[in-house]
Amino acid sequence: MQAKLNSGEQQPERTFTETARRAQIVDAAIEVIAEQGYANVSFAKIAKQAGLSSTGMISYHFRGKGDLMREVVAGIMGTAAEYVGAKLDAEQGYRGRMAAFFGANLALADEYPKHMRALSNIAANAGTDDPHLFGLLDQLGSVQAAQVELLRAGQREGVFRDFDPVVMITAIRGALDAAIARAAHDPGFDTAVAARELAELFDRATRKDA
């Protein structure tokens, strides 16, 4: 995901080395946030995690903490979209895709636990630093809008019953986010079981009986 350019501003292409260094810094920032919390993050800690000789290497690639955090959020959301999207693309039908949605998102929490912890910590603690949580709220809004349209399409096809798609997606996201948060802090939490239970629950809540 690329940031918008200012009017008339040209952004030079990054070299392979610069791109790799930025990715290294973002990965280190995710590690620090996941392990120590957003409130405790600093360029010094990120530089140490990344094995950099000084914080100047971070300042060279990012225009401050806010710029780096926006890249962190974009990176995590991009990873999540790619992972979940690949699993949903393999499913057929609206009900099948809904079931896969829960499984994919909870499997994501297992596959990328530090990414999910970091994102959750940013969402919980970064409000005073950035009113839009470094682009997270905008991205989540776009995702929700797409999910609402998917439910509406299922209603038009007669697969789902009549309900308010916005309310239903709010309930789905709330239940899923709670399960992901539990998974991030409880090593014994069975994400596969949670995914099956949530899939069954919302299949019953949305399907149109024959």
- Rounded to the nearest integer, the mean pLDDT of the chain is 88
The residues near 44 (Cβ < 8 Å, ≥ 6 apart) are 55
pLDDT tens across 48-60, in order?
999 999 999 999 9
Residue 10, pLDDT above cutoff 60? no
Range 8-33 average pLDDT:
82
Residue 5, pLDDT above cutoff 50? no
The residues near 18 (Cβ < 8 Å, ≥ 6 apart) are 61
More confident residue, 120 or 47: 47
The residues near 26 (Cβ < 8 Å, ≥ 6 apart) are 68, 71, 72, 75
* CB distance 182 to 189 below 8 Å: yes
Alpha carbons 51 and 59: distance in angstroms, whole number: 15
Task: Pick the range with the lowest mean pLDDT from 4-13, 19-28, 38-47.
Answer: 4-13
pLDDT at 9 (0 to 100): 45
Task: Pick the range with the lowest mean pLDDT from 35-44, 134-143, 174-183, 199-208.
Answer: 134-143
